[in-house]
Amino acid sequence: MTPTMLPSSQQARDVAYQLHAYTNARSHQRAGPLIIERGEGPYVFDTAGKRYLDAMAGLWSAGLGFSEKRLIEAAHRQMQILPFYHTFASRSNGPSIALAEKLVKMSPVPMSKVFFTNSGSEANDTVLKLIAYRSNALGQPQRKKVISRLRGYHGVTIGAASLTGFPDNHRSFDLPLPNVMYTGSPHFYKDSRAGESEETFAARRAEELESLIQREGADTIAAFFGEPVMGAGGVIVPPPTYWDKIQRVLKKHSILLVADEVICGFGRTGKMFGCETYNIAPDVIVVSKQLTSSYFPLSAIIMNDYMFEPIADESNKVGLLAHGFTGGGHPVGAAVALENLKLIEERALIANVGRIGAYMQERLRTLVDHPLVGEVRGVGLIAAIELVLDKKRKVAATTPGDVGSIASRLLQERGIIVRNVDDALSICPPLIVNKDQIDELVDGITGMLHDLKATVVNCREPH
């Protein structure tokens, strides 16, 4: 049943008092929320007791599922010892020290320091500030521009939303900020030209980046931000040689590379980091979400000496690095993260992603012959199904998202939670899923496509 059919005092109170993220506020007032009451493994349950396979791991993030007792116990132990302390003014705490050391040592390329924040958005905002700080330290005050990508997602704070390459994240917010520029996404299915191979497409994207740098002036550009696999943009998997070509351009012009691993990090792509999957050698890595399986808000910026040393010099010159967050390096969050990383290693979850991810990708690709499926794409335990009404033209309804929203609702009725990005159904189950649960997911999607075919006759196809 839909929330409208299940009125409750909780629903009424939610509508009365809460403004929701990524929600049409007026539609929410009419329909009310789906209230999730509890979780168990990869499943969540609503207040009516209905069970859902959460094929989005919450928000790309609950890698260990929704009821891992060892994470709860780690938080409880730390709460009893030191429930909070900050990292301002040379203060520290044991869990944050241990986690910083762990992250530096496990990074896919040599790294030097970690700066803790509370969310991916805060982390990317902080990186923007540190980039400006670093440029000033190097005597390059003109070098403040950064390049992001269309369809890239880096968060919703003012700076991070500017990096995010979606109009909806800018419209009516007076964004983006100056000095943020965009180059094309690596979405071969949507952005390639007729007859273009993946290799040629990747080369064209690198040439477009080179042209942008030349046009703006290489000495004005400080950094390039990119996700190894674009997650919230619709699970856009880059062509095989894309990252090699992009990195050659950046290296040529001494432009910092910031790898946003907020979604890809800690196993999602079948390696510990997405950078390992695509041979990316960044100067900065941003992590969050699966760092704690989202049991506690925590994010981290992992940087190399090339990034750190000028910042350290400038803090000495100015007198301090005047930036930080009350919850940055929170001892409880750090303790949860350490236990989370320990469990990923102990239970060989990266290997599980390799096995179960391959099975999921194989099963999902059997759907590509369906008349409403334009493309199935993904790697490891992250995937997307691009829904279309016209396979040849690769288009869905006149209004982007109409078909995807219907499909998402039909799946929810079947007890499966996904997230549609326009007309792409994003899939990102917890790292702990098994083969039977993948079968449950794909069988549910297969049934949904049958229902969708009968439903979308009312959706107008663009002309």
Identical fold, 34-67+349-458 and 71-346 = no
Cα–Cα nearest to 429, from 66, 151, 109, 170: 66
Q: Is the confidence at residue 1, as pLDDT, over 50?
A: no
Q: For residue 199, what pLDDT is reported?
A: 98
Please answer whether residues 303 and 348 qualify as being in contact, where contact means their C-beta atoms are separated by less than 8 angstroms. no
Q: For residue 143, what pLDDT is reported?
A: 98
Q: Which residues contact 58 (CB under 8 A, 6 or more apart)?
A: 66, 294
pLDDT tens, position by position, 431-456:
999 999 999 999 999 999 999 998 88
CATH of 71-346 among 3.30.2130.10, 3.40.640.10, 3.20.20.80, 3.90.1490.10: 3.40.640.10
Take residue 15 and report the two structure tokens written for it. Answer: 């509508």
Phi and psi at residue 48, to the nearest 5° = -90, 0
How far apart CA 360 and CA 83 sit, in angstroms, is 40
- H helix or E strand, kind and range, residue 206: helix 198-216
pTM over 0.85: yes
Take residue 408 and report the two structure tokens written for it. Answer: 């998402």
Average predicted confidence (pLDDT) for the chain: 96
Is residue 185 classed as helix, strand or coil in its secondary structure?
A: coil
Task: Name the residue ranges covered by the structural domains of the chain.
Answer: 34-67+349-458, 71-346
Please answer whether residues 289 and 265 qualify as being in contact, where contact means their C-beta atoms are separated by less than 8 angstroms. yes
pLDDT tens, position by position, 326-370:
999 999 999 999 999 999 999 999 999 999 999 999 999 999 999
How far apart CA 315 and CA 328 sit, in angstroms, is 18
pLDDT tens, position by position, 236-264:
999 999 999 999 999 999 999 999 999 99
Q: Is the confidence at residue 5, as pLDDT, over 70?
A: no
How far apart CA 298 and CA 265 sit, in angstroms, is 13
| Confidence band of 6 (pLDDT split at 50, 70, 90) | very low
The domain 34-67+349-458: what is its CATH number?
A: 3.90.1150.10
Q: What's the whole-number mean pLDDT along residues 32-58?
A: 97
Q: For residue 340, what pLDDT is reported?
A: 98
Cα–Cα nearest to 226, from 271, 266, 187, 257: 257
What CA–CA distances, in Å, run from 244 to 25, 205, 261, 456, 458? 43, 11, 17, 41, 44
Take residue 8 and report the two structure tokens written for it. Answer: 């409750």
Please answer whether residues 373 and 388 qualify as being in contact, where contact means their C-beta atoms are separated by less than 8 angstroms. yes
Q: For residue 460, what pLDDT is reported?
A: 60
Phi and psi at residue 230, to the nearest 5° = -70, 115
How far apart CA 347 and CA 352 sit, in angstroms, is 9
Q: For residue 3, what pLDDT is reported?
A: 46
Take residue 32 and report the two structure tokens written for it. Answer: 């009310």
How far apart CA 334 and CA 292 sit, in angstroms, is 8
Is residue 164 classed as helix, strand or coil in its secondary structure?
A: coil
Cα three-residue angle 77-82-85, rounded to 5 degrees: 140
Q: Which residues contact 13 (CB under 8 A, 6 or more apart)?
A: none
pLDDT tens, position by position, 150-186:
999 999 999 999 999 999 999 999 999 999 999 999 9
Paired with 194 in beta bridges are none
| Segments in 366-427 forming alpha helices (H) | 402-413
pLDDT tens, position by position, 300-318:
999 999 999 999 999 999 9
Q: Which residues contact 200 (CB under 8 A, 6 or more apart)?
A: none
| Confidence band of 274 (pLDDT split at 50, 70, 90) | very high
